[in-house]
């Protein structure tokens, strides 16, 4: 157990639907990162939050949004789902990046299948 909890582990949904993926970071970690892993694209950075504020944005589609709540858990919302959104979605957390610790701890991921 890495300490980063992601739910659900698996999700099957239809095109056009909306889903919410949840992540609880490791205790004490303030930063949360979301990554998408697909077979042909590898691990792609989506978005980062630090202590409730958005810090960096990657290749995140407009149909996707995220937030980090006061208790530091984060949610990734995916809407108007398309077949191509099928992928593993990972959440990772780290403590203070400004102190030089860039070793993320990853959760086990949510496997999203859009049918």
Residue numbers at the binding site for another protein (CB under 8 A): 2, 4, 31, 33, 35, 41-43, 45, 48, 50, 55-56, 58-59, 90, 92, 94, 97-98, 100, 102-109
**Is the Cβ of residue 9 or residue 63 nearer to another protein in the bound state?**
9
Q: Which is nearer to another protein, 38 or 79 (CB)?
A: 38
Q: State the minimum distance, in angstroms, from the CB of residue 20 to another protein.
A: 19
d(CA 80, CA 20): 12
From CA 36, how far away is CA 46, in angstroms rounded? 7
Scored b (16 or more CB within 10 A) or e, 71-109 reads: ebebbbebeebeeebbbebbbbbbeebeeeeeebebbeb
Q: Which is nearer to another protein, 48 or 81 (CB)?
A: 48
């Amino acid at each position: 157990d890495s300490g980063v909890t992601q739910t659900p582990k698996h999700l099957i949904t239809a095109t056009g639907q909306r889903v919410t993926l949840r992540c609880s970071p490791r205790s004490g970690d303030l930063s949360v990162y979301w990554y998408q892993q697909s077979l042909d694209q590898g691990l792609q950075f989506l978005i980062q939050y630090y202590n409730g504020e958005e810090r960096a944005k990657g290749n995140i589609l407009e149909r996707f949004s995220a937030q980090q709540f006061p208790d530091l858990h984060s949610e990734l919302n995916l809407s108007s789902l398309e077949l191509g959104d099928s992928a593993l979605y990972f959440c990772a957390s780290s403590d203070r990046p400004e102190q030089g610790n860039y070793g993320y701890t990853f959760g086990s991921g949510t496997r999203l299948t859009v049918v």
